[in-house]
């Protein structure tokens, strides 16, 4: 039992590190590098884009290797690989060098989602809550990227924000290998499933419904990825633009010795982003419980409606109101995360689950990468108000697509499911 808890804890820590390491640069670019290197924020985003493409496209080979070789073995590669890549990135001296480092981080980061989620959905029951709890850890990684990096910019420099998580990840990788060494060896010698797919094993009625649901899953995955990337990557910059007054007031309140104009604004902006991310991540626990109780369609429609409302309210707001509305749309952005993973976990055959998750994350993270130039272009041309209107439109697309989901999902155990 203790080993089982340690196993789930290490998988959760992996999700935390996956998102933390990939988003450190978001805060570094927003609060430090454009001043230190004299490079514009929009130009810096160009160097992050290849890393997010690697984050997407490497998900499929990572899932294939996990199914063919060892899922626990691939998780060990993830921990140690992303740790080393993060440390190396901390020593970058030019935008090109940091772009290469971010590409390496993206390659190893791609391992986690297809492999870690395949383990979580196959090993434990109450799938919705397990995915949700795992998702909260990932969102805390997003939040701590802003918090830790913002603090280090003010008190030590941005490089340690890459180096320290890298060291921690390597230590966790060694612990994971020690815990799962026997499983890794057993996976290497175990016979593998014959080639094939879920569709070859099911009746034609179920196949048609499976295609319909899969199309909705991948469409909403793509559109939701635009929302997730735009909110998580740009939020530090949004807060830097819109919460300067609030951040300065709070910094002075926290440190009464600070002189006007010398407040730790970057630390406070990072702290506010952390608080929004951390509180919003709890939405996944609520969503996970609702998924196990009611299924994906009503839950997904509710989350999309929340996003539509709060993105529509955000244009023009600053300081306190901007902070409250940002919390609202982040509740929706984080709440949607476990839903597609839940649906895939219910529909996918176990022998091919990591590969199917790999395809899902190729779509998701490829869109994440393509969204970075969109953020840069919209910000430079029209500002963030236009971005919020675009995201409100994306939430409307999700709401319409989810409305045609069936009430019951096709599963490997069913040969015929009536669409309702």
Residue range 238-283, pLDDT digits in tens? 888 888 888 878 877 766 555 555 456 777 887 888 888 888 888 8
Predicted local distance difference test score (pLDDT) of residue 259: 52
* CA–CA distance, 45 with 25 (Å, rounded to integer): 9
pLDDT over 50 (residue 199): no
Query: Given pLDDT bands bounded at 50, 70 and 90, which one contains residue 420?
Result: very low
Question: Which two structure tokens, joined as six digits, stand for 350?
Answer: 């176990």
Residue whose tokens read 């910019």: 153
Rg (CA), the chain: 21
| 32 DSSP 8-state letter | I
* CA–CA distance, 139 with 128 (Å, rounded to integer): 16
* CA–CA distance, 360 with 347 (Å, rounded to integer): 13
Predicted local distance difference test score (pLDDT) of residue 197: 46
Q: Which domains does the chain have, with CATH numbers?
A: 2-186+203-402 (1.20.1250.20)
| Of 291, 295, 243, the residue nearest 268 (C-alpha) | 243
* CA–CA distance, 199 with 88 (Å, rounded to integer): 43
pLDDT over 50 (residue 113): yes
Question: Average pLDDT of 122-147?
Answer: 79
pLDDT over 60 (residue 419): no
pLDDT > 70 fraction of the chain, expressed in percent and rounded: 86
pLDDT over 60 (residue 193): no
Residue 311 class from Cβ within 10 Å (0-12 exposed, 13-18 middle, 19+ buried)?
buried
| Of 217, 223, 225, the residue nearest 402 (C-alpha) | 217
- Maximum average pLDDT range among 68-82, 128-142, 336-350: 68-82
Predicted local distance difference test score (pLDDT) of residue 401: 92
pLDDT over 80 (residue 347): no
pLDDT > 90 fraction of the chain, expressed in percent and rounded: 29
* CA–CA distance, 65 with 85 (Å, rounded to integer): 20
| Of 180, 148, 173, 144, the residue nearest 161 (C-alpha) | 148
pLDDT over 70 (residue 154): yes
What is the per-residue pLDDT across 306-343, written as a single tens digit (0 to 9) for each? 999 999 999 999 888 999 999 999 999 989 888 988 88
Predicted local distance difference test score (pLDDT) of residue 255: 63
């Amino acid at each position: 039992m203790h080993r089982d808890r340690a196993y789930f804890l290490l998988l959760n820590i992996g999700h935390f590190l996956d998102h933390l390491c990939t988003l450190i640069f978001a805060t570094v670019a927003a609060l430090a590098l454009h001043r230190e290197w004299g490079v514009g924020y929009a130009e810096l985003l160009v160097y992050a884009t290849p890393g997010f493409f690697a984050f997407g496209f490497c998900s499929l080979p990572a899932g294939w290797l996990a199914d063919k070789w060892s899922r626990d073995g691939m998780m060990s590669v993830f921990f140690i690989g992303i740790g080393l890549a993060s440390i190396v990135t901390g020593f970058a001296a030019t935008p090109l060098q940091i772009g290469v480092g971010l590409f390496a981080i993206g390659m190893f980061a791609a391992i986690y989602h297809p492999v870690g989620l395949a383990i979580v959905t196959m090993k434990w029951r109450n799938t919705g809550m397990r995915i949700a709890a795992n998702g909260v850890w990932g969102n805390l990684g997003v939040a701590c990227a802003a918090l830790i990096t913002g603090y280090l910019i003010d008190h030590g420099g941005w490089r340690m924000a890459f180096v320290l998580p890298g060291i921690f990840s390597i230590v966790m990788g060694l612990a994971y290998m020690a815990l799962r060494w026997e499983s890794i060896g057993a996976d290497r010698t175990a016979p593998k499933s014959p080639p094939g797919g879920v569709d070859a094993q099911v009746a034609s009625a179920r196949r048609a419904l499976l295609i319909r649901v899969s199309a909705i899953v991948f469409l909403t995955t793509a559109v939701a990825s635009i929302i997730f990337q735009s909110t998580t990557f740009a939020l530090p910059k949004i807060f830097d633009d819109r919460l300067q007054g609030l951040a300065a007031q709070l910094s002075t309140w926290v440190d009464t010795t600070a002189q006007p104009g010398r407040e730790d604004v970057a630390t406070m902006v990072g702290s506010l982003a952390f608080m929004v991310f951390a509180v919003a991540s709890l939405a996944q626990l609520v969503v996970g419980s609702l998924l196990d109780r009611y299924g994906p369609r009503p839950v997904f429609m509710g989350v999309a409606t929340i996003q539509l409302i709060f993105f529509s309210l955000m244009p023009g707001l600053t300081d306190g109101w901007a902070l409250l509305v940002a919390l609202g749309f982040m509740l929706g952005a984080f709440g949607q995360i476990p839903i597609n993973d839940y649906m895939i976990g219910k529909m996918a055959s176990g022998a091919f689950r990591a590969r199917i998750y790999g395809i899902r994350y190729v779509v998701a993270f490829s869109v994440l990468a393509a969204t970075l130039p969109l953020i840069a272009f919209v910000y430079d041309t029209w500002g963030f108000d236009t971005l919020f209107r675009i995201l409100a439109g994306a939430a409307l697309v999700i709401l319409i697509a989810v409305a045609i989901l069936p009430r019951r999902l096709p599963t490997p155990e069913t040969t015929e499911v009536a669409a309702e």
